[in-house]
Amino acid sequence: MQALKKQHSPLSFLTSSVFDTDAANFWLKKLNPLWSVNQSLGQIVHKEKAANGIFSLKIKCNRHFRMGQAGQHHPVFIEIDGRRYERSYSLHRIDEQHVLLTAKQVEQGVVSNWLAEHAQVGDLVEFGQPYGDMILPEASNLVLLAAGSGITPMLSMIETWAKQPDALAKVQLLYWVKDYEDAAFEANFKKVAETNENFSFQIFYTQQTDQRLNTEHLSLVSQPEQSTVYACGPSGFVSLAEELFSQAVLFKGEAFSLSQADSSDTGFVNITLLQSEKTVAIPKGQSILAGLEQMNLKPKHGCRMGICNKCACNKVQGSTKNLVNGAESTEPGNLLKLCVNSAQTDLVIDL
């Protein structure tokens, strides 16, 4: 007996017709901005100020979007003046169709400034696959250390945990901002604290009380040696947190900005690209990725935070310095993340 032919919807018929994928996506978006054959798309439906210099966008997602675990990052692709940019953000799930993207406006930041000043309701963004291993642990107490916009992945983890509070014995948040108007999501944290006695949080205002992260904050954490500690913020903050909480069961840090180049890091170094058969000179103190981009080279990259590994390649020869924690590497054959390392000597890389 001849098998019955599968019934096709108008949408599936269009995508399987004479059009190729790009053409099909073009015509589908004419019917509905969120329709696509294969793209994970979102449309801004609401925009608000979350704190001083921090903006939150409520985004409606299409059927291709797959939310990562709480605390993970998503590549976000945005077209500005005809050019496509990729940045990474930690998203917060609102409901089955909507997510919250929160971004801090950064001076000379192309994407963050666009989101803050130009993004409007109705604008589209595209999402990539989530990545990152700073997610809710299976056991132990959890201590979350956040500075500035590093609070975003913490919010997602806290509210996810609040729906299953028995998963962890205790969750504690310590959050540093410059001033009172810089604190984001305080109402969210108060709500969780009111309904769950195993959650606590404290906010420190560095310009008001000069309470930057220091050894005294260790006393606020009970049994840090029995806790998992996550830190997210500028590189100096994350490095200090790792040093202070070295006795933790597990420490993971994510830095969204790099340390400034040391004043002694002057001059230029030569970078030899084996695959491209090119040698270029870049400034010694900045990230290798930024230096190569200034020479009109376009290495593959993603988060620019050393998390997604899209820019990683093999280092064949030379010395490098990690701009997040200051660690130096002279060994050949190591995996080199171009976005968070500077060249201390001439380098040969497999790129």
CATH (domain of 96) = 2.40.30.10
Tell me, what's the pLDDT at 28?
Answer: 85
The answer to whether residues 116 and 87 touch, using CB atoms and an 8 Å cutoff, is: no
Domain containing residue 155: CATH number = 3.40.50.80
Mean pLDDT across the stretch 326-343?
88
Residue 210's pLDDT band, with cuts at 50, 70 and 90, is confident
4 Cβ contact list (under 8 Å, min separation 6) = none
Helix (H, G, I), strand (E, B) or coil at 131: strand
What span, in angstroms and rounded, lies between the C-alpha atoms of 141 and 205? 25
The answer to whether residues 214 and 241 touch, using CB atoms and an 8 Å cutoff, is: no
Residue 306's pLDDT band, with cuts at 50, 70 and 90, is confident
Beta-strand (E) ranges in the chain? 41-51, 54-61, 74-80, 83-89, 91-93, 98-104, 124-127, 141-147, 171-177, 199-205, 227-233, 250-255, 268-273, 278-283, 312-317, 320-322, 328-329, 335-337, 341-343, 347-349
**pLDDT one-digit tens code per residue, 222-271:** 888 889 999 999 988 998 999 999 999 999 999 887 655 555 567 889 99
Is 231 inside a domain boundary? yes
Number of domains in the chain: 3
Last residue of a domain, one of 127, 154, 171: 127
336 Cβ contact list (under 8 Å, min separation 6) = 288, 312, 313, 314, 315, 320, 329, 349
Tell me, what's the pLDDT at 264?
Answer: 58
- Closest residue by Cα to residue 153 from 166, 175, 134: 134
Residue 147, pLDDT above cutoff 90:
yes
Lowest mean pLDDT among 6-15, 128-137, 322-331: 6-15
Residues 17 and 92 in one domain: yes
The answer to whether residues 259 and 172 touch, using CB atoms and an 8 Å cutoff, is: no
Cross-strand partners of 176: 147, 204
Tell me, what's the pLDDT at 182?
Answer: 93
The answer to whether residues 289 and 283 touch, using CB atoms and an 8 Å cutoff, is: no
Residues 33 and 117 in one domain: yes
Better-predicted residue by pLDDT, 225 or 98: 98
- Closest residue by Cα to residue 58 from 103, 117, 110: 103
Mean pLDDT across the stretch 35-49?
95
Better-predicted residue by pLDDT, 203 or 165: 203
Is 2 inside a domain boundary? no
Tell me, what's the pLDDT at 19?
Answer: 58
Residue 8, pLDDT above cutoff 80:
no
Is 337 inside a domain boundary? yes
Residues 216 and 296 in one domain: no
Mean pLDDT across the stretch 38-51?
95
What span, in angstroms and rounded, lies between the C-alpha atoms of 322 and 16? 48
Q: In the structure encoding, which two tokens stand for residue 42, read together?
A: 């979102």
Task: Give the torsion sign (CA, 19, 22, 27, 31).
Answer: positive
Residue 323's pLDDT band, with cuts at 50, 70 and 90, is confident
Residues 158 and 237 in one domain: yes
Is 115 inside a domain boundary? yes
Q: In the structure encoding, which two tokens stand for residue 85, read together?
A: 């940019």
Count of other CB atoms within 10 angstroms of residue 77? 17
What is the percentage of the chain residues whose pLDDT exceeds 90? 56
Element containing residue 241 per DSSP (H, E): helix 235-244
Report CA-CA distances (Å) from 142 to 172, 213, 249. Answer: 6, 18, 10
What span, in angstroms and rounded, lies between the C-alpha atoms of 35 and 71? 28
Last residue of a domain, one of 127, 153, 177: 127
Residues 28 and 68 in one domain: yes
Q: What is the mean pLDDT of the chain?
A: 87
Residues 118 and 151 in one domain: no
Tell me, what's the pLDDT at 30?
Answer: 87
The answer to whether residues 238 and 231 touch, using CB atoms and an 8 Å cutoff, is: yes
Q: In the structure encoding, which two tokens stand for residue 244, read together?
A: 């202070």
pTM here? 0.78
Helix (H, G, I), strand (E, B) or coil at 218: helix
Last residue of a domain, one of 233, 255, 277: 255
Q: Which domain holds residue 66?
A: 11-127
Residues 115 and 157 in one domain: no
Residue 192, pLDDT above cutoff 80:
yes
What span, in angstroms and rounded, lies between the C-alpha atoms of 292 and 287? 9
What span, in angstroms and rounded, lies between the C-alpha atoms of 42 and 91? 12
Return phi, psi of residue 272, to 5°. -100, 125
Tokens 């990683």, residue located: 312
Tell me, what's the pLDDT at 13?
Answer: 54
Tell me, what's the pLDDT at 6?
Answer: 47
Residue 4, pLDDT above cutoff 60:
no
